[in-house]
Amino acid sequence: MLQAARYLLGSPGASGFGSKSTADEVTAACPDLGSLTAIITGATSGIGAETARVLAKRGARVVIPARSVKAAEDMRARILGECPGADILVLHLDLSSLASVRDFARRFLSLGLPLDLLINNAGKFSHGQLALSEDGVEMTFATNYLGHFLLTKLLLGKMAETAAATGVQGRIVNVSSSVHGWFSGDWADYLKLVTRRKM
């Protein structure tokens, strides 16, 4: 409990950073990330957008996959406004669709780019409204968990290949939320619900 309170108040942890640390502060010790390629899901707003901005500012090639290519292009323009030389690639990806995840991975891999960082940040919350993905899975579960799981699985080989070629171990970062703690229902019924097939 005390650790949680310290974290929420912004007290630094073992890394020297806390919940009030900014992306600029965290990356200050590594100002040149020009040799890295990062894929950041959910990079059109919030934590993902700030992560994309700062990594691009530090020189990393940033890939912004998004369901809304327009929102991703707008984010790309904002970053380029601050960092005119930034290397930013926008590709379509709908994490709720396993076919879209496979298509994105295929397109990214066909580019022949390295992959050093995979930041699984995108998230969706259905606000109590039942919606099913095209695969017949509850939308929040499909987007936040299954889509990222498949994406990671499909890109893991490229990350290992990049690490072997550069001698630098890549990183996979899974950003999460505590929204699951709001659930107070019957887990067995919920599991049936999130895996219900379309009629």
Q: Is the pLDDT of residue 141 over 90?
A: no
Is the model's pLDDT at 131 over the cut of 90?
no
Quick check: 154 pLDDT over 90?
Answer: yes
Q: Say whether pLDDT at 155 is over 80.
A: yes
Location of structure tokens 């259905």: 126
- Rounded Cα distance between 110 and 135, Å, is 25
- pLDDT score recorded for residue 110: 98
Return d(Cα 53, Cα 43) in angstroms, integer. Answer: 9
Q: What is the pLDDT of residues 21-43, one digit of tens each?
A: 888 888 888 879 999 999 999 99
Candidates 42, 39, 40; CA nearest to 123 is: 42
For residue 163, what are the CA distances in angstroms to 37, 54, 192?
Answer: 12, 22, 40
Mean pLDDT, residues 67-91: 97
pLDDT over 90 at 72, yes or no = yes
Cα–Cα distance, 67 to 190 (Å, whole number): 26
Q: Residue 189: its pLDDT value, please?
A: 67
pTM metric for this prediction: 0.85
- E-strand ranges in the chain read 37-40, 61-66, 88-92, 117-120, 171-174
- What does the alpha-carbon distance between residue 121 and residue 31 come to, in Å, rounded to a whole number? 22
Domains with residue ranges and CATH for the chain: 23-195 (3.40.50.720)
Q: pLDDT per residue over 40-71, tens digit each?
A: 999 999 999 999 999 999 999 999 999 999 99
